[in-house]
Amino acid sequence: MKQIIAQIQNLSHRYTKDWAVKNISFDITEKGILGLLGSNGAGKSTTMNILCGVINQTEGEVFIDGINVRKNPVEAKKLIGFLPQKAPLHLELTVDEYLTHCAYMRSIPKDKIKEALTRAKEKCGISHFSKRVLSNLSGGYQQRVGLAQAIIHNPKLVVLDEPTNGLDPNQIIEVRKLIKEIAEDRSVILSTHILSEVQATCHDIIMIEHGHIVFADTMHAFDNYIEPNTLIIELEAKPPLEDLNQIEGVTRVDFLSDTKIRIHFNSGPEITKSIIQICVEKAWPLTEIYLEKSSLDGIFAQLSKKQTPTL
């Protein structure tokens, strides 16, 4: 059984009148990446900031390796590395100057700082930029420096708030790869509003909406749980609408062009068989058929109709 490194118990927080998060509970297991997925304003940053002891929660408790973050923040923070949504970089410093500053802030003994810098820089692929001023690095490399400061003290848990936000597609791929490498030695929790980010990097997923957990399980369970409810077909000629509407399970038909059609259905994905069958019967030359992945909004709509499993 996997060891638990962090426990979030009945966590609630309100800044003013409304609850930003309400009664959230989950565990973070040792090693691997947990994705916290939610749309803007769902409560991801609030949860992360409480987890890292940046703000104190209104209710509930957070334990890192058994240490209560609210009651013993100094000890708890030694176990956590944090890269907030806006990386806390000092752009006028060189990589070495900045990471040395971070090492001091993390109370790393003076004689261990060089070793800590070398290890973090190697892990994050920035050793060759040691003397480079941060403002002269690309966004992707600045984010690597942000990740290096998060692991400078070799924490057991690394918390990353929207770590690929604002990066270009190539930088996103590189940073995701690096996050996976970082998670080989420790636990990582990352927040994002992009489903594909979680699918590309995480083993477990927690979906949060309006401050509540709406789904919590493995990524594998999530992929099996979320069923597509639209598919696209492409034919060589326009088929009669009434024939498509008569297929069992079809709820709506949208013509994207004369020959490309989106079919909404409320039965299982086996509806593809019925569609192929009617194409054969009616001699409609079918050139393409595929199930569409649900959008985040679509998934939230599906989840709200189903009973939600939690970790």
Residues that bind ligand ATP (CB under 6 A): 15-16, 20, 38, 40-46, 193
Q: Which segments of the chain are extended strands (E)?
A: 4-14, 19-29, 32-37, 59-64, 67-68, 80-83, 157-161, 187-192, 204-209, 212-218, 230-235, 250-255, 260-265, 286-291
Closest distance between ligand ATP and the C-beta of residue 165, in Å? Answer: 9
Question: Is 6 or 20 the residue whose CB approaches ligand ATP more closely?
Answer: 20
Q: Do the beta carbons of residue 202 and residue 226 sit within 8 Å?
A: no
- Closest C-alpha to 5, from 185, 181, 171: 185
Question: Is 40 or 170 the residue whose CB approaches ligand ATP more closely?
Answer: 40
Closest distance between ligand ATP and the C-beta of residue 208, in Å? Answer: 7
Closest distance between ligand ATP and the C-beta of residue 18, in Å? Answer: 7
Residue 161 backbone dihedrals phi, psi, to 5 degrees: -95, 110
Closest distance between ligand ATP and the C-beta of residue 31, in Å? Answer: 25
Question: Is 43 or 239 the residue whose CB approaches ligand ATP more closely?
Answer: 43
Q: Which two tokens stand for residue 23?
A: 């009664």
Give helix then strand counts, H and E, for the chain: 11, 14
Question: Is 54 or 247 the residue whose CB approaches ligand ATP more closely?
Answer: 54
Q: Give dist(CA 193, CA 303) in Å, integer.
A: 16
Question: Is 44 or 121 the residue whose CB approaches ligand ATP more closely?
Answer: 44
Closest distance between ligand ATP and the C-beta of residue 17, in Å? Answer: 10
**What is the DSSP code string of 136-162?**
GS-HHHHHHHHHHHHHTT--SEEEEES
